[in-house]
Every structure is written in C-alpha cells, then in structure tokens.
Structure 1
Amino acid sequence: MTTTNVYGDIANSIGGGKVQVTSIISKTSQDPHSYEPKPQDKLALSKAGLAIGNGGGYDPFFDTITKESGLSPDRTIQGFDVAELDGGGESPAHGGANAAETDGHDHGEVNEHAWYNMAAASKIA
C-alpha cells in the first residue's frame, strides 16, 4: 500500500504481476499535505505487507495511520528518509520559482517531493 499513486506506480513498475498495490491517494484533486485518512484506509493498511510513503512533510498522515493500523515499523518505508535528502536544490516542477508562490505550500529548506530528484527516486526504488 502506498500513500500516493506516485509511489504506487514505482511499486507496480518494480513488482509487476507479483504485487498488488493500492494507493490511498489516487486522484490528482486530493492533496497529500492535508489528506485526512478514512477508516477504510487504516483497515486496508493493517492488512498490507508493506507500506510506502514519502515523508518529509509531504504526506503527514502516514506516520499516524501506520501506527494506528498496527503495521510494524519494519514494514514501512519513507522515501524521503531512504533518499537521505538534505536540500540544496530546486524542484524542476517549480522552474526555479519561489515554491510558496507556485504551489500554495512552503517547502522550507528541503523540497519534500523526493521523486523530483532522479537520484533520490532511483535510491527509493
């Protein structure tokens, strides 16, 4: 189970027909920064063999829902932590513009959208 379809696509690409992947957030109209998990999300997560989230403030519900579901920490992956992101770069999605002006949320010193950094995305995969 993944927090978003971005990580769902990565998991499906790697696992192919050997995995069944469900993304909690699969619609572009849903914002992971402010998503409120539903009871069925927690239930599905409690049955998952593995849970993949981004971390870094992108999907803040992930920590809470994995703990509440009873999922063992050794069955969770936070892409942001795996990639060991430390900032120092601009996101291509913002084209060098101020992030707070372009997408409605502040990234701070580090852009939490880990998959925008190809080296990070490769490490996460």
Structure 2
Amino acid sequence: MNGTEFIKTCTPSGGAPEETVKLDWEFVERATISVHFADGNTVRYTDSDLFDCLVGIRNEIEQYGLILCCNGSRRDCYPSRMSREMGGAQRLMLLRFGELPTIRSMVDIFESADASQIGTPEEQRIYYQEWLTSIM
C-alpha cells in the first residue's frame, strides 16, 4: 500500500493553517512517511506501522511549531490491534467514552481534522488509556 496526501498544518495554539504539506506514505512490511514542506525540507520516518510513523513525524515537526491537522493527530483517535496487524494502522478508531467502536466509527489516518480536535501524542495516549478504562 502507498499513497500521497496533502495535509494542512496549524500552530500548537490551534491557529490558522500555516501551510499544506505533501505527505508520501507506504506500508509493506514496515511503514515510511515523508513530509515535504514548501521550503524544500523533507522529514522522513520509518516504523512498524503508519500510526507509529505519524507519531514520530509529529514529534519531529512539533519542535518547529507545526501540527498536522489529520485524524492521526486527533486526541480521540487510536488504532485497534487488528488495524495495526492487518492494515498498517491506516484506519483508526474514533473513541467515545463508554462506547465500543463500530465499523462506522473507523476513520482514515490522513483524513483532514479540525485544529480544535488535535492533541499531542502524549494526550492521545492518555485519552486512549482513559477510554479503555471507560469500557471495562
């Protein structure tokens, strides 16, 4: 699997989009994501699946004050084990406290998301842990 996406960026404060970046991705046995900026710089990351790659990319570019505004950056989105194992984590669960995800609550990792929904990787991990507790 591979593809190219165009994703808006914003500032950590949720400010107006800074620019649209080109994101190339592929998943064979491992995943690789390359983000190409308008100034010619490229950030590349390889990991076990697309979600872990995206976390690595996010950690790198957030140091420069930019956030990717896509579902993979949303506080309330996280990959299921099956999505990781069978699809490279291209599909994510949209998490609602006290509710199990359904097929309708699955979203594409690179689909656009509003800046107000975006969190840090740590906020995302905490939200996932809290959601797990809410369904037990």
Task: Pick the structure with more helix per residue.
Answer: 1
TM-score, normalization by structure 1? 0.32
TM-score, normalization by structure 2? 0.31
